[in-house]
């Protein structure tokens, strides 16, 4: 296949964002070099760093740069420095705004246990089994995007947040999720709170209606409290989990813990076909780890892998990187946040260095690894 040329907007953000993103960029650069692709990285200010520099977590230039790119790689945002700002002015507001502005209503979070990391899952071996599922979280609606009000002060203060969903919003995410399920194991679990919430009741009706168009997919509806429990009891029962914005936020952190660490899980946020998708690890900016060269870069590296696969159609390259990571993990190499007693602990940059060496080795000994390159 001829090499591709792509522009990638890079929003490193705050805390460990810059370090994990730099690791992912190194891997993408190795990929470009080895497979004759051309990736151009354009960096833009975002989050707390952008508040400090421009007084705005999502400056116009950043948004324009993202719109003009083929894909966006984001690190993480937020930190104690900006925690006292009012809600709409915080780094998180920039994240919600970029999702809205770019029409990113689909959020895909693959939860896949790496075999070498079975030991760091909090679940016993037989319980975690071969956990490999996808959470599809609606990302542009729900209580995160309704009105947020906080009135008064002291004992008289009160607050309200409004949750809203329309049929169209539910239908488009449901169609995407059913499509994913069709290409996987054809099981879809839709999660809501239809025994209490009107938005959930509409959600359930709409998902049931859309299901008729995907007869090969088996659908099940779970209340969110039960879903949280089922994830711990028997994660291997899930194939595709479809849910709204808030439930997806919460369940994806729980699911990440099952796979060993939130530091391992990537995500893709996308909208309509042909528009740039955004890739980011699901972890936060982890201020206590920042600047120490210890934070696991895998969430960001797997986000880059997801970009290669989903936005650029580079499946071979994606597999090449995943195999290198699995080799490094098989050898017992770890950063301390994903360590276990028998592991060989490395700094984050040494860890990335080992992955890069494996990538190189796999090409040099391509026949040994079965790479036809
Ligand atoms: C996530 C994060 C964000 C969210 C925050 C930082 C606004 O938790 O991507 O899961 O809630 O969506
Ligand atoms: Mg979250």
pLDDT in tens, 111-136: 999 999 999 999 999 999 889 999 99
Residue-level pLDDT at 244: 98
Question: Considering 260, 288, 323, which residue would you say is the last residue of a domain?
Answer: 260
The answer to the question of residue 266 being in a domain is: no
Closest residue by CA, ligand 1 atom 4: 249
What's the pLDDT score for residue 307?
Answer: 98
Asked whether residue 75 falls in the same domain as residue 124, the answer is no
Give the residue, out of 11, 89, 92, with the most ligand 1 atoms within 8 A of its beta carbon, to mutate for a pocket test.
Answer: 92
The answer to whether the CB of 299 falls within 8 A of the CB of 293 is: no
Domain of 119: which CATH number? 3.40.718.10
CA 170 to chain CA centroid, Å, is: 20
What are 316's two structure tokens? Answer: 């071979």
User: Whose C-alpha lies nearest to ligand 1, atom 12?
Assistant: 249
In a domain, 271, yes or no: no
Cα(268)–Cα(246) distance, integer angstroms: 17
pLDDT of residue 371: 58
Q: Do residues 21 and 151 share a domain? A: no
Do 254 and 117 sit in the same domain of this protein? yes
Flag whether pLDDT at 18 surpasses 60: yes
pLDDT of residue 370: 62
145, 95: one domain: no
pTM of the shown model: 0.96
Above 90 in pLDDT, residue 372? no
- Rounded Cα gap, residues 55 and 18, in angstroms: 19
Of all protein residues, whose CA lies closest to atom 11 belonging to ligand 1? 249
Number of domains within the chain: 2
195/188 Cα distance (integer angstroms): 20
Question: Is 253 assigned a catalytic role?
Answer: yes
Please, are residues 66 and 94 in contact by the beta-carbon 8 Å criterion?
no
The pairing of beta strand 158-161 with beta strand 148-151: antiparallel
Q: Does 301 share its domain with 219?
A: no
Our measurement of the distance from residue 104's CA atom to the centroid of its chain's CA atoms, rounded to an integer in Å, reads 13
* pLDDT tens-digit series, residues 133-180: 999 999 999 999 999 999 999 999 999 999 999 999 999 999 999 999
Of the residues 215, 230, 260, the one at which a domain ends = 260
Three-state SS letters, the chain: CCCCEEEEEEEEECCCHHHHHHHHHHHHHHHHHHHCCEEEEEECCCCHHHHHHHCCCCCHHHHHHHHCCCEEEEEECCCHHHCCCCHHHCHHHHHHHHHHHCCCCEEEEEEECCHHHHHHCCCCHHHHCCCEEEEEEECCCHHHCCCEEEECCHHHCEEEECCCCCHHHHHHHHHHHHHHHHHCCCEEEEEECCCCCHHHHHHHHHHHHHHCCCCCCEEEEEEHHHHHHHHHHCHHHCCEEEECHHHHHHHHHHHHHHCCCHHHCEEEEECCCCCCEEEEECCCCCCCCCCCCCCCCHHHHHHHHHHHHHCCCCHHHHHHHHHHHHHHHHCCEECHHHCCCCCEECCHHHHHHHHHHHHHHHHHCHHHHCCCC
Using 50, 70 and 90 to split pLDDT, how confident is the model at 1? low
C-alpha 62 to ligand 2 mean position (Å): 22
187 and 281 together in one domain: no
CA of 253 to the centre of ligand 2 (A): 6
| Pair 10, 55 in one domain | yes
Are 12 and 48 members of one domain? yes
Is the residue at 107 inside a domain?
no
Nearest atom in ligand 1 to the alpha carbon of residue 252 is 10
Q: What's CA 113's distance to the chain center, in Å?
A: 15
Q: Measured between alpha carbons, how far is residue 230 from residues 17, 101, 268 in Å?
A: 32, 35, 24
> Same domain, yes or no, for 228 and 117?
yes
* Residue 78 CA, closest ligand 1 atom number: 6
Q: Are 319 and 308 in contact (CB under 8 A)?
A: no
Position in ligand 1 atom list of the atom nearest CA 139: 12
- Say what the pLDDT of residue 365 is: 82
**Atom number in ligand 1 closest to CA 249:** 10
| Cα of 136 from ligand 2 centre, angstroms | 13
The tens digit of pLDDT for each residue in 324-342 reads 999 999 999 999 999 999 9
Catalytic residue list contains 330: no
- Cα-to-centroid distance, 4 and ligand 2 (Å): 33
In a domain, 268, yes or no: no
Residue 149: closest CA among 167, 164, 133, 161: 161
Least confident of 84-98, 136-150, 358-372: 358-372
Q: Is 7 exposed, middle or buried (0-12, 13-18, 19+ CB in 10 A)?
A: middle
Q: CA–CA distance from 346 to each of 28, 67, 100, 115, 297 (Å)?
A: 21, 37, 38, 20, 12
| 257-289 tens-digit pLDDT | 999 999 999 999 999 988 999 999 999 999 999
Note if 83 is an active site residue.
no
The answer to whether position 307 is within a domain reads yes
Judgement on whether residues 199 and 325 belong to the same structural domain of the protein: no
User: Taking residues 301-330, what's their average pLDDT?
Assistant: 97
Average pLDDT over residues 230-259: 97
Residue 5 domain flag: yes
The model's pLDDT over 41-88, given as tens digits with 9 standing for 90+, comes to 999 999 999 999 999 999 999 999 999 999 999 999 999 999 999 988
Q: Which two tokens stand for residue 257?
A: 């813990």
Domain-embedded: residue 267: no
Task: Kindly report, residue by residue over 193-227, the tens digit of the pLDDT.
Answer: 999 999 999 999 999 999 999 999 999 999 999 99
Say if residue 73 is in the same domain as residue 121. Answer: no
Q: Which of 193, 239, 279, 337 is catalytic?
A: 193
Domain housing 251: 112-260
Q: Is 225 a catalytic residue?
A: yes
Q: Which of 105, 144, 165, 176 is catalytic?
A: 144
Same domain, 173 and 300: no
Q: Whose CA is nearest to atom 5 of ligand 1?
A: 92
In a domain, 270, yes or no: no
Ligand 1 surroundings by CB, under 6 angstroms: 92, 95, 249, 282
Instruction: Give the residue whose CA is nearest to atom 10 of ligand 1.
Output: 249
Residue 373 has pLDDT above 60, yes or no: no
Quote the pLDDT of residue 368: 60
Let me know if 130 is a catalytic residue: no
Ligand 1 test: best mutation among 58, 90, 95, 245, most atoms within 8 Å of CB?
A: 95
């Amino acid at each position: 296949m001829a090499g591709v040329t792509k522009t990638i907007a890079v929003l490193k953000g705050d805390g460990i964002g810059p370090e994990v993103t730099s690791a992912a960029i190194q891997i993408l650069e190795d990929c470009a070099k080895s497979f004759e692709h051309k990736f151009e990285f354009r960096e833009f200010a975002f989050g707390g760093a952008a508040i400090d520099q421009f007084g705005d977590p999502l400056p116009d230039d950043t948004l324009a740069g993202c719109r003009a790119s083929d894909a966006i790689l984001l690190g993480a945002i937020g930190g104690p420095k900006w925690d006292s700002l009012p809600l709409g002015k915080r780094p998180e507001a920039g994240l919600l705004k970029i999702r809205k502005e770019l029409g990113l209503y689909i959020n895909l979070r693959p939860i896949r246990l790496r075999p070498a990391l079975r030991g760091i899952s909090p679940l016993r071996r037989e319980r975690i089994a071969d956990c490999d599922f996808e959470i599809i979280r609606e990302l542009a609606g729900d209580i995160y995007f309704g009105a947020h009000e906080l009135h008064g002060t002291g004992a008289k203060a009160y607050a309200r947040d409004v949750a809203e969903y329309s049929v169209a919003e539910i239908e488009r995410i449901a169609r995407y999720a059913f499509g994913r399920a069709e290409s996987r194991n054809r099981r879809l679990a839709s999660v809501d709170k239809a025994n209490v919430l009107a938005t959930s009741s509409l959600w359930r009706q709409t998902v049931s209606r859309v299901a008729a168009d995907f007869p090969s997919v088996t659908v099940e509806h779970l209340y969110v409290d039960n879903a949280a429990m089922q994830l711990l009891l028997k994660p291997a029962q899930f194939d595709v989990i479809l849910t709204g914005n808030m439930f997806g936020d919460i369940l994806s952190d729980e699911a990440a813990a099952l796979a060993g660490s939130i530091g391992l899980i990537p995500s893709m946020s996308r909208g309509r076909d042909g528009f740039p998708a955004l890739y980011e690890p699901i972890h936060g900016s982890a201020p206590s780890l920042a600047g120490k060269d210890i934070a696991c870069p895998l969430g960001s590296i797997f986000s880059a892998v997801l970009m290669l696969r989903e936005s650029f159609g580079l499946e071979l390259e994606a597999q090449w990187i995943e195999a290198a990571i699995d080799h490094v993990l098989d050898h017992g190499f770890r950063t301390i946040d994903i360590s276990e007693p028998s592991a060989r602990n490395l700094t984050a940059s040494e860890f990335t260095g080992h992955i890069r060496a494996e990538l190189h080795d796999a090409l040099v000994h391509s026949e040994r690894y079965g790479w036809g390159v």
